[in-house]
Chain A
Amino acid sequence: MAEAWQWVTAIIIIYSLVVVGLGYIAWRRFQRTIEDFFLVSRRVGYFVLFLTLAATYHSAFAFLTSVAVFSKSGISFWVGSALWTPLAAVSGYILGKRFYLIGKKRKHITPADLLADYYESEALRLITAIIMAIFVIAYMVVQAIGLGIVLGVGSAGNIPFEWASLFFMGVTIIYLVVGGHRAAFWTDALQGVWMYIGVWAAGLYIAYKFFPGVGALMDSVREVNPKLLTMNWGVDLTFSFMVVFSIGVILLPHMWLRYYSARGTDVIRVSTVGMALYVSSYYIPAGLVGLAAAVFNATGLEIGGRVLLEPGFIDTLIETYGSRDAVMAHMIYTLTPAVFAGFLLAGAASAAMSTLDSLLGATSMVLTRDIYQRYVDPKADENRLVAVGRILIIIWGLIAWYFTVKKPGLIFDLVALSASGGLQFLVPVLQAVFPTKRQWVTKAGAITGLIIGIFVNVLLTNRFPFHEWLGLPGYHPAVAGTIGLGFNALAALIVSSFTKPVSEEKRKIYIEALLEA
């Protein structure tokens, strides 16, 4: 008779093979053009776009760290997510629809294509590509950490965190290199359904199996720590999370390019509503698991004389994995039947893989298109570009894995760090997609704002030592990113007030593209 961990591990690995199989099917439909490899020939319809947006937005962040934060900060996470998830969907519609319309007309493939085209600046293209490729690494590390935790916990430690992470990184790279972004979109659709069912199944199972129901769970939390049932984040932190996790994430390349690939504006409109409902409601069951974890962390859990969870078990997880992100996986592995746990943890793996594939694909696209094609080999044919894109997927995957094994901390903070970089593009993007008669941001203003915004962001982030060197206070990456955005906007507006605006001809072209909706 196989042990529980063997069942769980087998199910997770079988699931991975299914995903690779989907990558193979996607490869058979590959048309060998860079537009098809990265943007699925701009033909993505309602169902796949909705699920790929939702699954890509939701990652190890949703499945793992949300539960970890719930167990520490209680419903603060719910209140915050109730603000940032709908805003992410809405900003995705407002910006994404315009990315789509302009991108289709101007044949844009990367985020830098749009900015370099509107502001007529190759310097802006290079700056955009470099900032995006660097900040996105933190987001990749998040997914690799999540995958390492899922298989590490699911195998009861028999597969070490580092190797578990490498295994999944390998699986993701294989299906992405083989099938391109079509594989990522298709697997996202599968993974989007899987992880949503998984988190609801886990939340309801734990709430009704170990408590008489949701009300009883709340009563238990009230006895253990009533503060977990109130909002504990301040207005500044809440506002920063709202801005960074909504607009910042949408402006990272892996989300941005999804809007390029849509079949039409109506597809984006319908997907927006679906995404808003999906990503928001996802955190209700995640909250149930997190609050249950907080209760068991205080009281322990013993059933039939068998100790399932020791009091203070979260501290043990922090010692092992470097953060409390393993709470969800540990709760599932410990409290649910083995086969059920296998399916649920495969859902967790799917959450991370669906974002990791998008990040790897998008970064490869940015580097191939904006740097290799422009500065290394401008005459490269489509086959050559696709080959370079594939090699870059492997290289960036291994870079992310290198940082992963260093266990850099809580996923929540790393996502905020990555999204704070994306947030800095808001200023130049707004002017480009809203080409108003009065031009608030010029080429010089956009570049100055972007550089100052990133500088302030990195300087004030408490994850880096720079603020200490200058005797400045360090802030959570989300707060530092929001402050950076303020400096960015101010610098852009000041410099733009006395520098040459974008040509009227270019502005008119953008207006015409937008009016085609």
Chain B
Amino acid sequence: MNSETTEGSAPREYKVFKKAEDYLGVIFFVVAYLLMYCLIFAESINVADPSAFGLSKAFAYSLFVWVLIMLSIIYAAARVWR
């Protein structure tokens, strides 16, 4: 890419976020993380009682949020980081 700016145009500046999808990718990722943090420490969720597949409620919940985190990364890789 040509590093020189043409006469009269503004010099290029570095922007951390360049397009709307950048924000969406970040929001998706942060929400998934907050979900893990906010709820795993909740007394009603952080219990050993059986839930899906015999896993404890805490384990099953963390697996579910982990899937969300993975989906957010796949989304970011497919749409945001192109």
Contacts and interface: CB of A to CB of B under 8 A. Distances in A.
Interface in A351-380: none
Interface residues of A, number: 42
Contacts of A227: 48
A226 B57 CA distance: 12
7 contacts: A82-B65, A86-B69, A218-B50, A231-B41, A272-B77, A437-B13, A511-B13
B41 A270 contact: no
A82 B36 contact: yes
B1 A516 contact: yes
Interface string A209-234: 00000111011001000111111000
Interface string B19-61: 0000000000100010011001100001110100111101100
A201 interface: no
Contacts of B73: 86, 89-90, 272-273, 276
A269 B14 contact: no
A195 to B, nearest CB: 20
Nearest to B69: A86
A83 interface: yes
Contacts of B29: 90
A316 B72 CA distance: 43
Nearest to B59: A75
A6 interface: no
Contact of B3 (A270, A437, A512): A512
Contacts of A273: 73-74, 77
Nearest to A276: B73
Interface of A: 75, 78-79, 82-83, 86-87, 89-90, 93, 214-216, 218-219, 222, 226-231, 235, 238, 269-270, 272-273, 276-277, 280, 434-437, 508, 510-512, 514-516
B71 to A, nearest CB: 10
Nearest to A277: B70
B1 A515 contact: yes
B50 A269 contact: no
Contact of A269 (B3, B12, B70, B77): B77
B54 A219 contact: yes
Given A272-B73, A515-B12, A222 B62 contact: no
Interface residues of B, number: 35
Contacts of B65: 82
B10 interface: no
Of B11, B73, B76, the most chain A CB neighbours within 10 A belong to B73
A93 B81 contact: yes
A515 B82 CA distance: 13
A435 B11 CA distance: 14
A404 B45 CA distance: 41
Contact of B47 (A89, A90, A230, A277): A230
Given A86-B73, A218-B54, A229-B48, A235 B13 contact: no
Contact of A280 (B14, B47, B55, B66): B66
Nearest to B4: A512
B16 A216 contact: no
Contacts, number: 105
A195 B29 CA distance: 29
A93 B59 CA distance: 28
Contacts of A231: 40-41, 46, 58, 62
A82 B69 contact: yes
B47 A276 contact: no
Contacts of B63: 82
Given A75-B58, A219-B54, A83 B77 contact: no
Contacts of B16: 434, 436
Given A511-B14, A512-B3, A75 B36 contact: no
Nearest to B1: A516
B58 to A, nearest CB: 5
A79 B54 contact: no
A238 B37 CA distance: 9
Contacts of A230: 46-48, 56, 58
Nearest to A516: B1
A90 B75 CA distance: 12
B59 A83 contact: no
Given A78-B59, A270-B77, A226 B48 contact: yes
A222 B56 contact: yes
B57 to A, nearest CB: 9
A332 to B, nearest CB: 23
A516 B1 CA distance: 6
B74 to A, nearest CB: 6
Contacts of B59: 75, 78, 218, 229
A184 B33 CA distance: 34
A235 B50 CA distance: 24
A84 to B, nearest CB: 11
Contacts of B55: 214-215, 218, 229
A93 B29 CA distance: 14
A93 B41 CA distance: 29
B14 A435 contact: yes
A142 B14 CA distance: 40
Nearest to A97: B81
Nearest to A242: B33
Nearest to A219: B54
